[in-house]
């Protein structure tokens, strides 16, 4: 079976550990982990831990890693890949969820956002889907996450964990799948600001922090203009004392 088929089967299970293990196995087959990390813009430690931790990895890291492997996430109804039923799709462990009738328009919009390789529109579509739900409390009961978790998770610039997105889709009757990145797009070198939208935001935030550090002196350190004012005051305080001494000297001589 091809790599695409193996990964599609893993995603069809809707099981986080199965999905992460399949991706971890695919990463281990790469010829150069250092080059892979550079392309995915993650460090080696993050890469090795991302798919071996119990809670999995973030949605953006998942998107980046799959992109380097030559795949992209897509959304489809449960038990289907590209609109066709598949025989080996199974329900997640821990009980079968209530039967849902997913809106194909939701799957289309999410897939379109995921196809942009930009995490920001993906979060925006998820947030819009949540706002349209009549019963968020009932939706959260189908998952292991509370209602507040969903509200907090899909607010940019906060990036949700992949497991949170997986649980929400599962409760709505959808599932993630993957498709190949078109060959003509694999060799493009887009800037980080267009490939993943939060990069520019992170750089801007870091620049703001550096500016704040420069404008606000650390405790125990006095800025240069304060030292200049202090030295001027010291000199001005000394002058009256010299005049008093010279005056006293004149009186004594008289």
Q: How far are the Cα atoms of 15, 50, 158, 236 from residue 55, in angstroms, in the given order?
A: 12, 9, 17, 66
Residue 53, judged by CB atoms within 10 A of its CB (0-12, 13-18, 19+), counts as exposed
User: pTM value?
Assistant: 0.65
SS (H, E, C) 181-228: CCHHHHCCCCCHHHHCCHHHHHHHHHHHHHHHHHHCCCCCCCCHHHHH
Give the pLDDT score at 237: 56
Model pLDDT for residues 138-164, shown as the tens digit of each residue: 777 777 677 778 878 888 889 999 999
Q: Running along the chain, 254 residues long, what does each successive block of 10 average in pLDDT? A: 87 95 95 95 92 94 96 88 47 43 89 95 94 80 77 88 94 94 67 42 39 39 45 54 44 38
Beta-strand relationship, 80-81 and 84-85:
antiparallel
Give the pLDDT score at 234: 57
Model pLDDT for residues 87-99, shown as the tens digit of each residue: 444 444 444 344 4
Sequence-distant (≥ 6) Cβ neighbours of residue 148 within 8 angstroms: none
Pick from 199, 153, 149: which is nearest to 59 by CA? Answer: 153
Give the pLDDT score at 233: 55
Q: How far are the Cα atoms of 4, 40, 44, 58, 94 from residue 21, in angstroms, in the given order?
A: 14, 18, 17, 15, 19
Task: Report how far residue 244's alpha carbon sits from residue 54's, in angstroms, rounded to the nearest whole number.
Answer: 80
Encoded tokens for 146: 């509370």
Task: Report how far residue 116's alpha carbon sits from residue 122's, in angstroms, rounded to the nearest whole number.
Answer: 9
């Amino acid at each position: 079976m091809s790599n695409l088929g193996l990964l599609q089967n893993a995603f069809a299970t809707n099981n986080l550990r199965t999905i992460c293990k399949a991706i971890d196995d695919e990463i281990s087959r790469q010829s150069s982990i250092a080059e892979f990390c550079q392309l995915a813009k993650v460090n080696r430690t993050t890469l090795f831990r991302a798919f071996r931790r119990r809670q999995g990895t973030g949605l953006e890291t998942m998107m980046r890693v799959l992109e380097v492997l030559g795949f992209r996430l897509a959304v489809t109804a449960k038990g289907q890949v590209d609109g066709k039923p598949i025989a080996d799709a199974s329900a997640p462990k821990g009980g079968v969820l209530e039967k849902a009738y997913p809106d194909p328009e939701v799957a289309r919009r999410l897939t379109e956002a995921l196809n942009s390789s930009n995490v920001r529109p993906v979060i925006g579509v998820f947030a819009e889907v949540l706002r349209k739900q009549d019963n968020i409390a009932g939706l959260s009961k189908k998952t292991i996450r509370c209602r507040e978790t969903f509200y907090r998770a899909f607010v940019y610039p906060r990036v949700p964990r992949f497991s949170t997105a997986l649980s929400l889709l599962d409760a709505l009757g959808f599932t993630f799948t993957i498709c190949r990145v078109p060959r003509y797009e694999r060799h493009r070198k887009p800037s980080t600001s267009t490939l993943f939208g939060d990069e520019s935001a992170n750089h801007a935030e870091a620049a703001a922090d550096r500016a704040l550090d420069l404008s606000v002196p650390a405790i125990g350190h006095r800025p240069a203009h304060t030292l200049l004012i202090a030295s001027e005051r010291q000199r001005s305080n000394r002058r009256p004392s010299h005049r008093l001494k010279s005056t006293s000297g004149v009186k004594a001589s008289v």
